[in-house]
Amino acid sequence: MKPKCSGPTYRGAVQAVILDWAGTAVDFGCMGPVAVFQEVFRQSGVEVSMGEARAPMGLMKKDHIRAICAMEPVAERWRSVHGTPPGDQDVDELYNRLQPLMVSALRRHCLPVPGLMDAVEAFRGQGLRIGSCTGYTGPMMEVLAAEAATHGYRPDSIVCATDVPAGRPYPWMCYLNAIRLQVYPLEAMVKIGDTVSDIQEGLNAGMWTIGVTRTGNELGLTEEEVGRLEPAELRSRLARIEERFRGAGAHFVAESIADCPPIIDEINRMIA
């Protein structure tokens, strides 16, 4: 399956990759945001499980909170504590409390995933520009980007959900990356991410998509926890994640960003 474009069929090479941040480029297991979402709800007297906190990952952070509030078990717990289901005012208050907590957490969860810098070097060798997009807000990304830069990761473009009319699964962050990187057509670009919403975003933008399984939110484990899993159990979990990504329309699935440069070569062969 190839992306469709409105003009003549594109026969050139891939020109750019657009990487998600947490779980794809940095923060193995996407650990930073989860604890913050749980803490914000806990401060309101409502417990949220790790699975509930992870489920909407990839969305803009306020949309993420809204999605958690819309989960019936969470709404019931909220109702038992506060007397009514969570409303728009509650979402606003949760979001306002989340922002400073998230900024603090990002400083502790900024390490590049293993193989990122080798992949970046390979992408550069393939002549690619490197963009990025995220559900984090601008102030959050100022912290994360600065910390990641100290470890050597500096993408050519950084677009936040707050820079565009709406975050994932809408394609606007991908479009703004294309503008800033001056890449056209969109099927000359590859979106790489670790959530279903990443894949939907890339597809909606008309880009090739790669889903990342082992380092991201879907598996949701630290590098050390992954290392302690029995190999058969790890393979089984990764296979289930791959099935979800394929079901969402991902063109390719890889365990980590380190596995993506050869996929770019394969995409180039398919385009040609």
Contact between residue 164 and residue 172 where contact means Cβ atoms under 8 Å apart: yes
Confidence at 255, pLDDT banded by 50, 70, 90: very high
Largest CA distance in the chain: 61
What local confidence, expressed as pLDDT, does residue 119 receive?
98
Which one, of 33, 43, 29, 22, lies nearest residue 94 by Cα?
A: 43
CB contact set of 2 (below 8 Å; sequence gap of 6+): 187, 208, 251, 270, 271
Q: Which of 2, 4, 20, 163 is catalytic?
A: 20
Q: Where are the beta strands (DSSP E) in 6-124?
A: 16-20
- What fold characterizes domain 16-30+111-271? Rossmann fold (3.40.50)
What local confidence, expressed as pLDDT, does residue 99 receive?
87
Is 2 annotated as catalytic?
A: no
- pLDDT above 80 (res 2): no
What local confidence, expressed as pLDDT, does residue 60 receive?
86
Residue spans per domain, the chain: 16-30+111-271, 32-106
Q: pLDDT tens-digit profile of 165-207?
A: 999 999 999 999 999 999 999 999 999 999 999 999 999 999 9
Q: pLDDT tens-digit profile of 149-159?
A: 999 999 999 99
Confidence at 6, pLDDT banded by 50, 70, 90: very low
CATH of the domain spanning 32-106, picked from 1.10.1040.10, 1.25.40.850, 3.40.50.1820, 1.10.150.240: 1.10.150.240
Residue for token digits 């914000």? 40
Residue 62, classified by CB atoms within 10 Å of its CB into exposed (0-12), middle (13-18) or buried (19+), is: buried
Q: What is the mean pLDDT of residues 92-113?
A: 90
- pLDDT above 60 (res 4): no
Q: pLDDT tens-digit profile of 47-74?
A: 999 999 999 888 888 999 999 999 999 9
64 vs 59, 91, 168, 219, CA distance in Å? 5, 10, 10, 18
- pLDDT above 50 (res 214): yes
- pLDDT above 90 (res 104): no
Is 61 annotated as catalytic?
A: yes
pTM recorded for the entire structure: 0.88
Comparing 134-148, 189-203, 241-255, the range with the smallest average pLDDT is 134-148
Q: What is the mean pLDDT of the chain?
A: 94
Here the tokens at position 200 are: 């939907």
Q: Which of 27, 61, 62, 194 is catalytic?
A: 61
